[in-house]
Copies of this chain bind each other. A is one copy, B any other.
């Protein structure tokens, strides 16, 4: 349905890949790192390689117009973009492909699909950007359903209304971030919320998964930009009022934020926008190690300065992202405004960092252009290309994954050291050789950071899924055992459910189950996500 066809086996669109130079550089780096002479590489799968089971259900006549059982459509909608997804993609394993893909173009389409599915006992997996890294869009729903439909929402496209007085817009749930930004540009407004998946991510998907975006402080989650939400549930439409703030009972929007398609389909939302920034200041500071840098991030986060960026990379991660020699941690600092020069803000934040041992990187630290130069600029570029590397690393046999969390400052040092050690140990147990575990902060709060861990190790062909599962289990146990959250912005999906149910209060889980029973009495919406499957 999109003008550009999506890759079913990799990131983004068919016409966009890593360059040969990027591939060569990455292969050389990993070969050095793991002492490998040369990697053998599995070929990219083609649709012809894959045998799909015949659809178990057929769409009714009234939905035939929007439904597809075309192989490419079913392949694109089988997986998200997690490491285990890639392993199975390169194994040509599409056993969980949905029976049908329904392309909703209107809210009535969504209602019609839910009506049919509830009556026919068909599970509905909402599909926006399809970028889940936690098994959020996979039809792994067991055998209690007659079939599965993947409900593609990207046809619910467009900005319906812009209110440039309140700086908000009413946006359809399936609209992708780049199209949204293009549509807003003439008004001078921007959502300015860029998860790493922003190329593909949809407004409804970001709300359903509580995505984390551009701003490292203050407006960290999409939550903070939500003014109201319109949701289609199997029992009716639910729409909250447009309000800048309210104290009338528990917030209806907060029930849908993080509902991950299990309670309803977000068809529209009013989101708060920003003026496009015109003033900037930024730079990078080097620290002896992550703990020295963390102390500076803490003090800056508690100073009421609200930098747009105050990301911290440990020494290995800094090096991996193309700067430094692996001996120093780096803090990337930036301020931006559409209203006023931000130099006093930047000057004070840099002063705090220097007081706490930070060394400005190069001559540009603290300058008004610093944000696109040096370490800061390198980071920005690397961040945008990162999702593409999994389509190289997986077929050459490198297990590569990330997990992210949040923890209060008082516990950060032990948390970091324990989680890193547990992950490193699990890698050795699973693969028999050491791997690499690195950490950065993606967001920061007055009471704690959101640490983001990346690990790489050499996998065993044919055993990578099992190896990954061991590492993921041990790392998640460490995150939960040391007091963190199983996710700060990657969502719960199916992969995090065992730890999510340990994390959230049981009584709260019971209220979510009760809410689902009210809104989705047939239990057809994204089964097994947020609310455990019956008997699970």
Contacts and interface: CB of A to CB of B under 8 A. Distances in A.
A267 B41 CA distance: 58
| Majority SS at the chain A contact face | loop
A409 interface: yes
Contacts of A450: 244-245
Given A258-B250, A507-B233, A515-B511, A166 B245 contact: no
A272 interface: yes
Interface residues of A, number: 94
Interface in A337-377: 337-340, 344, 348, 352
A38 interface: no
A445 to B, nearest CB: 4
A240 interface: yes
A286 B484 CA distance: 49
A504 B248 contact: yes
A447 B165 CA distance: 8
A447 B244 contact: yes
A488 B246 CA distance: 4
Contacts of A507: 233, 235-238, 518-519
A505 B252 contact: yes
Given A168-B408, A407-B243, A514-B515, A249 B500 contact: yes
A461 interface: no
A244 B445 contact: yes
Given A241-B483, A248-B496, A483-B242, A447 B166 contact: yes
Contact of A255 (B250, B257, B483, B486): B250
Contacts of A445: 244-245
Given A218-B218, A247-B487, A247-B488, 7 more contacts: A165-B298, A167-B447, A240-B504, A244-B408, A244-B445, A250-B259, A514-B518
Closest 6 CB pairs of A and B: A244-B448, A514-B514, A254-B254, A244-B445, A210-B247, A238-B507
30 contacts: A165-B408, A166-B408, A166-B410, A166-B446, A166-B448, A167-B446, A168-B408, A210-B247, A218-B218, A236-B506, A239-B505, A240-B508, A244-B406, A244-B407, A244-B408, A245-B443, A245-B445, A245-B485, A247-B490, A249-B260, A249-B504, A250-B255, A250-B259, A255-B255, A272-B446, A272-B447, A275-B302, A304-B337, A339-B348, A507-B518
Interface of A: 163, 165-168, 209-212, 218, 220-221, 227, 233, 235-252, 254-260, 272, 275, 298, 302-306, 337-340, 344, 348, 352, 406-410, 443, 445-450, 483-492, 496, 500, 503-508, 510-515, 517-519, 530
